[in-house]
Amino acid sequence: MSAFDIDRVLRPHMLDLEPYRSARHDFSDGVLLDANENPYGLAPAWAGNSLNRYPDPVQNELCSRLADLNGVERDSVFVSASSDEAIDLLLRLFCSPGRDAVAICEPTYGMYRVAAAVHDVRVLAVPLADGFQLDVAAVADRCAGDIPPKLIFCCSPNNPTGNLLDGGEIVRLCSAVDAVVVVDEAYIEFADAESLARRVRGIPNLVVIRTLSKAWALAGVRIGYAIASPRLIGYLRKIKPPYNVGSLAAAVALETLADPGRMRRVIDEVAAERERVAGLLRGLRSIETVYPSNANFLLIKCAGATELQRRLAATGIIVRDRSMEPGLSGCLRITIGTPRENDLLISALTAMEGMTP
């Protein structure tokens, strides 16, 4: 295969698209009469923090911090308002509605399919192989079909199965296809594995997407990011909404990212709880399988999964029914909570076993 050239894979009109130039690109202090903002400020509780002003459109400080944390250059990082936004922008960049396709490796995160449908982009679903592993040959095969996918989504650790995909296989896939391989590492901090982030330097068709929603506990703040070659990142910056990341979100993110030690202590605790809960679940007669997990949730298989999910909900414990997903009949996904929440789950399940003969 010839070397990957992003300009051949992009939607052609992206090549010379002129981005919006916001007022805040040129000046950010002085007598600011350039952006039609309201100079009178906000109610007292929020006054004094410049929320009446548009935020930094380039988020340099946040980009630098995320670049440092991941051992990459700042021009390899794109900050988005959630990883869902990053997925959406990647679709806009590469896939023409009504014409192009993406590949997904199922069972996996449902947003790839929904985001593709929103853009009227066809989805080629390739089943994961045994152990929910990437089937490089099967994906490469689909890339040789009549509608080769522009993007291939790989989720590692995979939601909802919880397992890591083999990093070497992902790299092998990158060199086997003329498409962009998007590796969603939303749960990578919980895994016993390195991120693929540093590999983007040598692999022009690799994009790693990350989020502050899980390990960093900022799901309500909506910050995600993509790591890729500076060329690919340059295109994402060109098409993003000019003020996609708000100043409050950026401030909370910067403050949180300043203490990676805290994040690591929390994820160690979650991982320890995950193993404790897995052990307890394995001791329950009604549960057939507790799949190994490298994330902050467990996938379990049991008889009557949908009924069990309803009965748990009736006791106030909410878990996710995944039993309608391809290859996941009988499966529920359970997030690891606090030790107390996990104990409540185990007690409820134990009590239900007592009620069935």
Ligand X SMILES: *Cc1c(COP(=O)(O)O)cnc(C)c1O
Q: CB of 186: closest distance to ligand X in angstroms?
A: 4
CA distances from residue 107 to 74, 111, 121, 150, 158 in whole angstroms, order as listed: 33, 12, 19, 20, 9
Name the minimum Å distance from CB 195 to ligand X. 14
Binding residues for ligand X, rule: CB under 6 A, are 82-84, 109, 155, 159, 184, 186, 211, 213-214, 219, 224
C-alpha distances out from residue 102 to 105, 292, 335, Å: 10, 28, 28
- Distance, in Å, from the CA atom of 96 to the CA atom of 116, rounded to the nearest integer, reads 10
Smallest gap from Cβ 112 to ligand X, in A, equals 9
Tokens at residue 29, please?
């202090």
Judged by CB, which is closer to ligand X: 41, or 246? 246
Least CB distance from residue 64 to ligand X, whole Å?
A: 20
Cβ proximity to ligand X: between 199 and 214 the closer is 214
C-alpha R_g of the chain: 22
CB of residue 219 vs ligand X: minimum separation in angstroms? 6
Contacts of 322 (CB under 8 A, 6+ apart): 107, 160, 299, 328, 331, 332, 333
User: In terms of CB distance, is 82 or 342 closer to ligand X?
Assistant: 82
CA distance 143 to 149: 6
Least CB distance to ligand X at residue 122 (A): 21
CB of 168 to ligand X, least distance (A): 21
Kindly give the pairing relationship between strand 180-184 and strand 224-227: unpaired
Q: Which is nearer to ligand X, 109 or 291 (CB)?
A: 109
Could you please report the per-residue DSSP string of 205-261?
TEEEEEESSSTT--TTT--EEEE--HHHHHHHHHHS-TT-S-HHHHHHHHHHHT-HH
Which CB, 76 or 159, lies closer to ligand X? 159
How far is Cα 342 from Cα 347, in angstroms, rounded to an integer? 9
Instruction: Decide whether 4 or 297 has the Cβ nearer to ligand X.
Output: 297
Nearer to ligand X, 4 or 109 (CB): 109
Question: Smallest distance, Å, CB 230 to ligand X?
Answer: 22
- Judged by beta carbon, residue 11 or residue 210, the one nearer ligand X is 210
Q: Which secondary structure element, helix H or strand E, spans residue 174, and what is its range?
A: helix 167-176
Helices H / strands E in the chain, number of each: 12, 11
SS3 291: coil
The SS3 of residue 151 is strand
Task: State how far the Cα of 242 lies from the Cα of 329, in Å rounded to an integer.
Answer: 43
